[in-house]
Amino acid sequence: MGPVLILLGPPGAGKGTQARILEEDFGLVQLSTGDLLRAAVAAGTAAGAQARAVMEAGGLVSDAIVLAILRDRMAQPDVAKGVVLDGFPRTEVQAAALDALLAEAGARVTGAISLEVDDAAMVARIAGRYTCAACGEGYHDDFKLPAVAGTCDKCGGTAFKRRADDKAETVRERLAAYHAQTAPLISYYDGKGVLERIDAMGPIDGIRQTLAAVVAQVAA
Ligand code: AMP
């Protein structure tokens, strides 16, 4: 299978934004467990019903639920092009399960890219963000407005949405969960020799270029 890239970083670091860009620039498939879980909640599946309260509180959904959802998605044929994982893995159990799943396909993690940001800036960054309800393109009140107010640049949609868990108090819980459970994965991937760190505090386009150079190198 194609490259398997992981984007690591706290909520608001730009994982989703950059994953969508990598999809465009490198033909990879973006795989976001947050998006898959929100879809399960919206569809009212049993897993979605269990995940909902945990997500609203800013905690981590159980490894069992997340891994079941990820395995289903990884079984689809488009994944062979290569994937950029955004928001997964978030625990060491998930990281080990991913290694095992990839090993079955004779693959392994190509690169884990840590988007390094200041925590203090993340609450403000998250508070201003929203997405197109039709195509999911991301926008921000301060950093990325649509070219024509109220109209999505990508698809022309005119309805936008904000995430229920992007409230300041929930964001603080999500940051705490990140530091307690996900940040240790930085050393996990460093130990495997696949870690790359990039400064992700600047403008979206600058980060896109830095990331493109790193991806071109690791995926070569
Ligand atoms: P995200 O869109 O990645 O910020 O995820 C939103 C929420 O979904 C998180 O705050 C968690 O509650 C849940 N979630 C997403 N991915 C995972 C994961 N890999 N493990 C556990 N919970 C997750």
33 pocket-lining for ligand 1 (C-beta < 6 Å): yes
52 is catalytic: no
60 pocket-lining for ligand 1 (C-beta < 6 Å): yes
SS in 3 state form for the chain? CCCEEEEECCCCCCHHHHHHHHHHHHCCEEEEHHHHHHHHHHHCCHHHHHHHHHHHHCCCCCHHHHHHHHHHHHCCHHHHHCEEEECCCCCHHHHHHHHHHHHHCCCCCCEEEEEECCHHHHHHHHHCEEEECCCCCEEECCCECCCECCECCCCCCCCEECCHHHCHHHHHHHHHHHHHHHCHHHHHHHHCCCEEEEECCCCHHHHHHHHHHHHHHHCC
Quick one: pLDDT at residue 220? 77
90 is catalytic: yes
Atom of ligand 1 at shortest distance to CA of 86? 3
- The pLDDT averaged over each successive group of 10 residues in the chain (220 residues) is 95 94 94 96 94 95 97 95 97 98 94 93 89 95 94 98 90 94 97 96 93 91
Quick one: pLDDT at residue 1? 87
End-to-end alpha carbon distance in the chain? 13
Protein residue with its CA nearest to atom 8 in ligand 1 = 34
In 3D space, the residue among 34, 38, 37 whose CA is nearest the CA of residue 7 turns out to be 34
Rg (CA), the chain: 17
Quick one: pLDDT at residue 190? 98
Q: Distance between CA 168 and CA 20 in Å, rounded?
A: 25
pTM over 0.85: yes
